[in-house]
């Protein structure tokens, strides 16, 4: 038995989170694509059976009150809050990540006030964030200025209204320094918006601790909420009474059933709501989040780093030197919960990996991405994935 296999066995035996794997619907496939779509928590199907047959089928309209449908966006937001370092009452769930980025960015410009006419956007951002930022700039009369996260402290000025940044780079898995960048934006008097899509549920974020203004994130990756599950919006408590959403829907009205012609925003994070919540997806997410009960995010982060360390060790042990190149930083402080490998012909390589029972994903032109979800990925999975990758490239 090889040394990596023995190491994997020892690491799995000592893993305090190993028991959580049984709470997911998994098979013999090594699933390393949780950074795109998390695995199905085992409790979700039965919960959705109840939602559809009893809450919708029997109670029907009564479920808005009797089943708690109306309060679901804030209730589920409070379940997410501890995972991103937020106190209750600051997160609302609903809409897509893209819609929430738009709400947050336009609201950030409005919060910044007069005399600021520039939006700084992460030049390495996920494309949609860039598209939204460009549109928000046109709508608010701002100039759009792309800059890498490392450049932000040097480019923000008294003109800057808002800065939109990604916590983790979706291609490389690089973790950006949220506390320092937030402080730099605030020193310039601007408002910061963080995209947490690749960090929420994978590592500590510390939104309250670091004074983040606004943040958005998806729930179908490390939070395992299911395909198209609703995103979340964080509005720091001190800013809530000034949060001016560009999408003032009836759900965020102070008296939603008053049907008044004039809009008057509700108090608190409820201002982030727009229209009728997507109840089926919302309640699937709520059931999925139950796997987090009693799970400390620090333990998740420790295992994430151990998994990615071990994967890089196995890749080095099994693959010839130069066969692949890691684009993910070695330093723990700069690493999210994925490993990105530069590999010639990566698209075809990933297809062969999937055929052989290892599911990751491919980003053009030549990047293999492997996401490590600590709640259900084990060290034996990691060793097997590296071994099959070596066989695929041989």
Helix or strand (DSSP H, E) at 338? strand 338-342
8 Å CB contact between 94 and 274: yes
**What mean pLDDT is predicted for residues 52-77?**
98
In this prediction, residue 394 has a pLDDT band, given cuts at 50, 70 and 90, of: confident
Question: Which pLDDT tens digit goes with each residue over 247-259?
Answer: 999 999 999 999 9
CA atoms within 13 A on the CB side of 310: 28
Helix or strand (DSSP H, E) at 363? strand 361-363
Question: Which pLDDT tens digit goes with each residue over 94-150?
Answer: 999 999 999 999 999 999 999 999 999 999 999 999 999 999 999 999 999 999 999
* pTM of the complete model: 0.97
Question: Which pLDDT tens digit goes with each residue over 254-300?
Answer: 999 999 999 999 999 999 999 999 999 999 999 999 999 999 999 99
**What mean pLDDT is predicted for residues 192-210?**
98
**What mean pLDDT is predicted for residues 162-167?**
98
Residue 204 is predicted with a pLDDT of: 98
Confidence check: pLDDT of 212 > 70? yes
In this prediction, residue 1 has a pLDDT band, given cuts at 50, 70 and 90, of: low
Identify the residue whose tokens are 């950030």: 108
Question: Which pLDDT tens digit goes with each residue over 313-329?
Answer: 999 999 999 999 999 99
Residue 307 is predicted with a pLDDT of: 98
Please list the active-site residues.
Answer: 126, 195, 220-221, 369
DSSP E strands: which ranges in the chain? 24-25, 30-31, 40-41, 91-93, 118-122, 143-147, 160-166, 191-195, 214-217, 232-235, 325-326, 338-342, 358-359, 361-363, 367-371
8 Å CB contact between 162 and 108: yes
Count of beta carbons in the 10 Å neighbourhood of residue 142: 23
8 Å CB contact between 314 and 30: no
Percentage of the chain lying above the pLDDT 70 cut = 100
Identify the residue whose tokens are 């994130």: 217
Average pLDDT of the chain to the nearest whole number: 97
Residue 2 is predicted with a pLDDT of: 83
State how far the Cα of 175 lies from the Cα of 169, in Å rounded to an integer: 7
**What mean pLDDT is predicted for residues 370-374?**
98
DSSP symbol at 144: E
Residue 217 is predicted with a pLDDT of: 98
């Amino acid at each position: 038995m090889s040394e990596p296999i023995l190491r994997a066995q020892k690491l799995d035996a000592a893993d305090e989170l190993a028991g959580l794997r049984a709470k997911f619907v998994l098979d013999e496939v090594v699933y390393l694509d949780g950074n795109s779509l998390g695995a199905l928590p085992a409790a979700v199907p039965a919960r959705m059976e109840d939602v559809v047959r009893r809450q919708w089928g029997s109670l029907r309209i009564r479920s808005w009150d009797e089943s708690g449908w109306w309060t679901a966006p804030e209730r589920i937001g409070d379940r997410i809050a501890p995972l991103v370092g937020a106190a209750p009452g600051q997160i609302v769930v609903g809409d897509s990540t893209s819609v929430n980025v738009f709400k947050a960015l336009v609201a950030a410009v409005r919060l910044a006030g007069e005399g600021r006419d520039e939006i700084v956007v992460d030049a390495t951002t996920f494309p949609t964030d860039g598209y939204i930022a460009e549109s928000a700039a046109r709508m608010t009369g701002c100039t759009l200025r792309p800059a890498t996260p490392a450049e932000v402290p040097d480019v923000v000025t008294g003109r800057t209204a808002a800065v939109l940044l990604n916590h983790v780079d979706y291609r490389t898995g690089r973790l950006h320094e949220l506390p320092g960048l937030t402080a730099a934006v605030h020193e310039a008097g601007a408002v910061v918006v963080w995209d947490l899509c690749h960090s929420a549920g994978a590592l500590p974020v510390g939104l309250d601790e670091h004074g983040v203004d606004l943040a958005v994130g998806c729930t179908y990756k490390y939070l395992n909420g299911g395909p198209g599950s609703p995103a979340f919006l964080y509005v720091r408590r001190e800013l809530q009474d000034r949060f001016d959403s560009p999408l003032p829907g009836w759900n965020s009205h102070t008296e939603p059933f008053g049907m008044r012609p004039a809009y008057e925003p509700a108090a608190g994070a409820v201002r982030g709501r727009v229209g009728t919540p997507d109840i089926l997806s919302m309640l699937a997410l709520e059931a999925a989040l139950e796997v987090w009960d009693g799970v400390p995010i620090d333990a998740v982060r420790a295992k994430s780093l151990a998994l990615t360390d071990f994967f890089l060790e196995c890749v080095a042990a099994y693959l010839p030197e130069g066969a692949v190149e890691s684009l993910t930083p070695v330093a723990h402080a700069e690493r999210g919960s994925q490993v990105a490998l530069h590999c010639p012909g990566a698209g075809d390589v990933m297809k062969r990996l999937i055929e052989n029972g290892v599911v990751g994903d491919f980003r053009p032109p030549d990047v293999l991405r492997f996401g490590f979800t600590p709640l259900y990925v084990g060290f034996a999975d990691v060793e097997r994935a590296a071994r099959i990758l070596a066989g695929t490239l041989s």
